[in-house]
Amino acid sequence: MFAGFLRIAPSCDACGFDYSVADIGDGAAVFVMFVAGFVVVLPALFVEVAYQPPVWVHALLWLPLTLVVCLALLRPFKGMLFALQVKHKAEEARFEDRI
């Protein structure tokens, strides 16, 4: 399904299904930011309230964790959104279809 870390392949290697029917854009990044926010911000707030470390300790702890969480979740979320678009035959809105 992927031709790189995040780039969707043009078609399926096994069956030849054309992947150009779905385009998720940056939709997965929005969901990843929400999840990463909960995973990183809540512990960071707890550490701040409980221990009150200097800012450099927060940077040392939470910036790498944010990067790891975002990179770990981005590909699965992009694949899930792509699969949902294909399953539900989602496409761009057409205003001429409105009544």
Average pLDDT over residues 57-71: 96
Question: What is the average pLDDT score of the chain?
Answer: 91
For every residue of the chain, DSSP letters joined together read -BSSSSPBPSB-TTT--BGGG---TTHHHHHHHHHHHHHHHHHHHHHHHHH---HHHHHHHHHHHHHHHHHHHHHHHHHHHHHHHHHTT-----GGG--
In the chain, domain spans: 23-89
Q: What is the pLDDT of residues 13-35, one digit of tens each?
A: 999 998 888 888 888 999 999 99
Average pLDDT of the residues in 45-49: 96
